[in-house]
């Protein structure tokens, strides 16, 4: 269940209320079922996945990828697996834990765990959205945002790309004002 925290500490959990708050940013938030395939569930229960296991997970979920290819021209996808034992996890996360934009959409389908996307809204206010298992988010190109893990420091997410070149962060040098007490 997605959780949206506003600057005044209001917490929203209803997806319709959250979508309304994020509407000025054109952010898409949906629930996508992972399904009940026992092999997929077994893979998702593992902390680490080698490249072959990641490909098995991706293939099991390719129905969503095929839809995105047809509707929006997505060309590739990968699976990011982060957990506390990933070497240099803090160093990996630093580049996303600052306000930035991308030339392409940032699209994630969280299939296990959770993370937080923060956003700068058109009026300058900031919000933080915790996305959790079975939630899909599309952050449009040019949207000022940041990304960090929750205290659980665990996520498995499919990333969808039109091109990976457009996904390089462009930092805005704005300061994050929200404290990180969600999760």
- Which residue is associated with the tokens 């979920």? 61
Residues 6+ away with beta carbon under 8 Å from 93 = 147, 148, 149
CA distance 30 to 35: 15
Closest CA to 82 of 110, 101, 40, 57: 110
51 annotated as a binding-site residue: no
CA distance 80 to 178: 26
148 annotated as a binding-site residue: no
100 annotated as a binding-site residue: yes
Polymer length in residues for the chain: 183
- Which residue is associated with the tokens 């000025």? 24
145 annotated as a binding-site residue: yes
Cα three-residue angle 57-33-146, rounded to 5 degrees: 80
| Binding-site residue set for Ni(2+) | 100, 102, 106, 145
| Binding-site residue set for Fe(2+) | 100, 102, 106, 145
| Binding-site residue set | 100, 102, 106, 145
């Amino acid at each position: 269940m997605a959780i949206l925290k506003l600057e005044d500490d209001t917490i929203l959990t209803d997806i319709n209320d959250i979508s309304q708050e994020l509407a000025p940013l054109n952010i898409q938030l949906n629930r996508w079922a992972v399904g009940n395939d026992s092999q997929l569930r077994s893979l998702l229960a593992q902390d680490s996945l080698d490249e072959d296991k990641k490909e098995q997970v991706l293939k099991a979920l390719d129905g969503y990828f095929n839809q995105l290819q047809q509707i929006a021209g997505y060309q590739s996808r990968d699976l990011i697996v982060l957990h506390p034992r990933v070497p240099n996890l803090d160093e990996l996360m630093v580049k996303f834990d600052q306000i930035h934009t991308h030339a392409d959409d940032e699209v994630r389908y969280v299939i296990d765990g959770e993370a937080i996307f923060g956003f700068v809204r058109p009026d300058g206010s900031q919000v933080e959205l915790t996305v959790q298992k079975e939630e899909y988010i599309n952050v449009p190109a040019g949207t000022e945002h940041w990304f960090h893990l929750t205290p659980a420091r665990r996520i498995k997410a499919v990333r969808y790309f039109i091109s990976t070149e457009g996904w390089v962060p462009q930092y805005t040098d704005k300061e994050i004002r929200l404290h990180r007490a969600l999760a």
